[in-house]
Chain A
Amino acid sequence: MKSKSNLLPESKVSLATSYLIRQLPTVTAIIDNEANFVAVSDKWADFFSSEPKDFSSKSIHDIFGNAEIELKELLNHCIAEQKECHHIVQLNLRDKLFIRLISKPWFDESENPIGILVNLEDISKQISLEEKNKKLYHLLDETAEISKVGMWEFDLETNNLSWSKMTKKIHEVAEDYTPEVNTAINFYKEGHSRNTVSMRFQKALDKGEPFSDRLQILTAKGRELWIRNAGKPIYKDGKLIKIIGTFQDVDEQVRSEMKIRENEKLLESIIDNLPLNVYVKDKDSKKIMVNKSECEYLGVKHKSQLIGKDDFDIYPKEIAQISREEDVEVIKHQKPVIGRETKSVKKDGVETTFLTSKIPLTGIYGNAIGIIGISMDISTLKKKEAELKDLINVTALQNKKLSNFAHIVSHNLRSHSANFAMLLNFLVDEKDESEKERITKMLVNASQNLMSTLEDLNEVVDVNANVNLDKEKIDLNEKLAKVKQDLATFLNENRAKIINKVPKGTKVFAVHAYLESVLLNLLTNAVKYQHPDRTPEITLRIETGASHTILLVQDNGLGIDLEKNGNNLFGMYKTFHNNKDARGMGLYITKNQMEAMGGNITAESEVGIGTIFKVYFNEN
C-alpha cells in the first residue's frame, strides 16, 4: 500500500486525496493535462486487471490504443470547453467491450484546470440489447408485412390509440393517419361487426377481458374486408394501463373458407337429396359417410347411428358377406363395379332389389382408402317388369287361344257352309223329285248342325269373355252333393259308385257356375267312358299345393292313350271313343273354365285301367 501512495507526485495530489480516489466505488482515474495518470481508483485497476501502481507514469493513451485519436480530441475538447463530455469507445480488453467514457475537467483551488477526471462505464450489455431490439423490430416489421398482421395499442393514461404501419395499411389509410377510438370503431361494418368490436373493447376496459374476433371492416377506400382483431389488457402494479392488440387481414382466408364451406354444403345437400342410397366405406367396410336416403332405407334417424358400422352390424350374415366380398374386390383391383343388380335383405326381412355401383376411393397419393357406394332401389321397377312379363305371358296365351279358337270357328263354319253350298248346288240341277226331297232333308240337317255348332261356340266365348269373375270360397263337398243329386238318375242307371275322400269343410276359390259345370262334366265323362267289364267307380281326393288346391277325380273306365292323344284331350271337337253322343266339347269347356278361374286341369291315364283328372284351383 505504501508503494501505491507513491504513484502520483505529491505536488499535484495530496496523499489524502489520492487515498480517497482509490476508494471510489466507480471506475475512475485522474489524468493531468498531458493525459498522464495522476491517480486511479482500485476499481479502475481491477477493471484493467492491474494494480494501481501499474498506471504510474503512464498515459491514458497507452491503455486505449486504437481509440487514441478520438480520445485525444475528446480530452482536448473537454479541457478547452471546460465541461463534461461523453464518448463511447470500443475496447479490446477481454471481450469486445463497449465503454462509455465520461470526462470532466479537474480544477485546483484557483479554478485552473489541472487535469481530467475520467469515469468508465461498461455498456456492452446495453448496446447488445439495443441491437437485439433493433433486429426484433425489423423482424416484426417483416412478419407484419408477410402475414398482414398489424398492431395497435391503446394507452389508458393518455387515451391515445396508436396503429402500426401494417394496421394502417390494412385500413387503407395514409401512414401519417392518426386513429382515435371512435373513428377506429367506425371502420367496422355496421351491425354485427361494429357492435361486437364496441362491446369487446368496452369489456376489455371495464373487466380486462381479452378478445379475438373475426369481423368485417370497410376500408378507407370502401373495400369490404374480413379482419381478425385481438386485444389483450396490460397491467402494471395491478392496474390496467393499456390494451395492446393485433389486427390481421384474413379476408382471403375467410373468403376461401366460406367458398369451401359453400361447396361442402352444396355437395352435402346434393348427396343428401339424391333419390339414391349413397355411402362411403373405409378399407374395413365401415361406413364413414351416409346420405339421407341410406338412413331412411335402414330406418335410422341420425347418420351417426350408421357411422362406424359395417354390413355385418346392419344386414343378415349372408347378405353382409356378399357385400363385403364385393368391397374387397373393388378395393383390391381398384376397379369400379357399375350398375350391378343386387338383392338386399334387411334384418327385418324386407327385400329390396338395387342397382348398385361401387367405386374405389383413393387418397391424395392414389392409395386405396375405401369405396363409394351408390345404390338405386329398383324394386318397383322389378315388380313392374315381373307384372309386365306376366302380362306378356297371359297375352301370349290368350293370343294362342284366340288363334286356336279362330281356327275352330273357321273350320266348323266352313264345313257347314261347304255342305250348304254343295247341297244347294245339287238341288238346283236335280230333276228327280224324290232326290230333291232327300237333298232338302239334308239341308235341314245341315242347318240344325250349324245351329248347334253356334251354340257350342257361344258357350266357349262366354267362358272366355268373363274377365271379371266373382270368385268366392266354396265348400267343395256341398257342391259335390248338389251335382250328385242332379246326376242321380244317370248315376243310378249306370250303377256308378262315388267314393268321396274330400275332407269335410274343404273350400276352393272358384266361380259357382264353373265349379258346378266342371264337376258335372268330369263325373259324367267318368261314367260315360266306363269299362264294359266293370261298374264305374269314381274316387275324389284332395292334394294341397303351394298356391293351389288340387282335386283328383279318378275313374276305373276305359282310359285313353295319352301318348297318341294327349295333345288333343282338351281340344275342341276331339273325341276318342266310338260314342255317339260325344261331341268333343266337355273337356274343352272344362279346361277353359279352369283357366278362366286362374287354375288348370291335367290328366293321367292308362288304357284299360282308368283315368285321373287333376283339377288345380288357384287359391290366390
Chain B
Amino acid sequence: MKTRIDSIYIVDDDPITVFGIKKVLYDVVECDNVASFENGKEALDALLLQLEQGKEIPDIIFLDINMPVMDGWTFMEEFHKLEINKPIRINIVTSSIDPADHERWLYYRKKSMHFVDYKNKPIFKLTAQDIDYISKAS
C-alpha cells in the first residue's frame, strides 16, 4: 500500500540524485506534486511564494547540504524563521561524512518542531518509515 502525500520538495544540485530520489520515492508514495530545486535559495523562494498565496506547503523535503548559492544549513536556518503551523518531515540526504554536519543535524533534530532525519547517500530504497511525517513529528 502506497502512502498518499500532497506535496514533496527535493532540494539538490545533482540531477542524478534528484532522479534517484524520485525513483525510490514513487515506490512508496503516491504524490502528484513533487518539485525539485537546484539550491536552498530556489526552494526557499518557492516556499515563500506558496505561503504568500496561501497554498499548501510540502509535507516532506529532501534536502542536500552542499549546494551552490545557498547550502542546506542556510536553508534550514531560513526555513525555521518562517511561520509554518504544520509539522514537516525534512530528510537530509548528503554524501558528507563530516562530523560537523552530523552535529548540526543533531542540533536541529532537538530544536526543531519539525521532524529532521539524516541519511547518507547512496539511497537505494525508501520505506514507509522514511515518509511517515505525522507520527514522527508530533
Contacts and interface: CB of A to CB of B under 8 A. Distances in A.
Interface in A545-569: 564
Interface string B94-124: 0111100000000000000000000011111
A255 to B, nearest CB: 82
A422 B98 contact: no
A442 interface: yes
B121 A422 contact: yes
Contacts of A575: 68-69
Interface string A421-440: 11101100000000000000
B68 A425 contact: no
Nearest to B100: A407
A584 interface: yes
A584 B19 CA distance: 23
A574 B65 CA distance: 12
A442 B66 contact: no
A446 interface: yes
Interface in A371-422: 407, 410-411, 414-415, 417-419, 421-422
A582 B68 contact: yes
Interface in B81-95: 95
From A446, A576, A578, A584, residue with most partner B Cβ within 10 Å: A578
Contacts of B7: none
A304 interface: no
Contact of B121 (A414, A574, A576): A414
Given A410-B97, A419-B20, A576 B69 contact: yes
Contacts of A582: 68
B69 A577 contact: yes
A415 B20 contact: no
A426 B123 CA distance: 10
Contacts of B121: 414-415, 418-419, 422
B79 to A, nearest CB: 16
A574 B66 CA distance: 9
A315 interface: no
Given A414-B95, A414-B97, A415-B14, A425 B69 contact: no
Given A421-B122, A422-B121, A411 B66 contact: yes
B95 A415 contact: yes
A422 B123 contact: yes
B95 A418 contact: yes
Contact of A446 (B16, B68, B98, B120): B16
Contact of B124 (A411, A414, A422): A422
Contacts of B69: 575-578
Nearest to B68: A575
Contacts of A442: 15-16, 19
B95 A411 contact: yes
B23 A573 contact: no
Contacts of B124: 421-422, 425
Contacts of A576: 68-69
Q: From DSSP, what is the main secondary structure of chain A's interface residues? A: helix
A445 interface: yes
Interface string A332-356: 0000000000000000000000000
A573 B39 CA distance: 14
Given A414-B121, A418-B122, A573-B66, A407 B98 contact: yes
A584 B69 CA distance: 11
A578 B70 CA distance: 10
From B23, B98, B123, residue with most partner A Cβ within 10 Å: B23
Interface string B44-84: 00000000000000000000001011000010000000000
A578 B39 CA distance: 9
From B17, B98, B121, residue with most partner A Cβ within 10 Å: B121
A576 B96 CA distance: 20
A325 B124 CA distance: 79
Contact of B23 (A411, A426, A446, A577): A426
Contact of A419 (B16, B68, B96, B120): B16
Contacts of A417: 122
A417 B97 CA distance: 13
A574 B68 contact: yes
Contacts of A411: 66, 95-98
Nearest to B17: A419
A423 B96 CA distance: 19
Interface in B3-47: 14-17, 19-20, 23
Contacts of A574: 68
B75 to A, nearest CB: 13
A423 B98 contact: no
Interface in A576-615: 576-578, 582, 584
Contacts of A446: 16
A411 B23 CA distance: 23
A422 B16 CA distance: 9
A445 B97 CA distance: 24
Contacts of A418: 95, 120-122
Nearest to B65: A411
Nearest to A412: B95
A150 to B, nearest CB: 101
A446 B15 CA distance: 10
Given A418-B95, A425-B122, A573-B68, 6 more contacts: A411-B97, A415-B66, A418-B122, A421-B122, A446-B16, A582-B68
Interface of A: 407, 410-411, 414-415, 417-419, 421-423, 425-426, 442, 445-446, 564, 573-578, 582, 584
Interface of B: 14-17, 19-20, 23, 66, 68-69, 74, 95-98, 120-124
23 contacts: A411-B66, A414-B97, A415-B66, A417-B122, A418-B95, A418-B120, A418-B122, A419-B17, A419-B121, A419-B122, A421-B122, A422-B16, A422-B17, A423-B20, A426-B20, A442-B16, A445-B15, A445-B16, A446-B16, A575-B68, A576-B69, A577-B69, A578-B69
| Among all A-B residue pairs, the 5 with the closest Cβ atoms | A418-B121, A575-B68, A415-B95, A422-B122, A418-B122
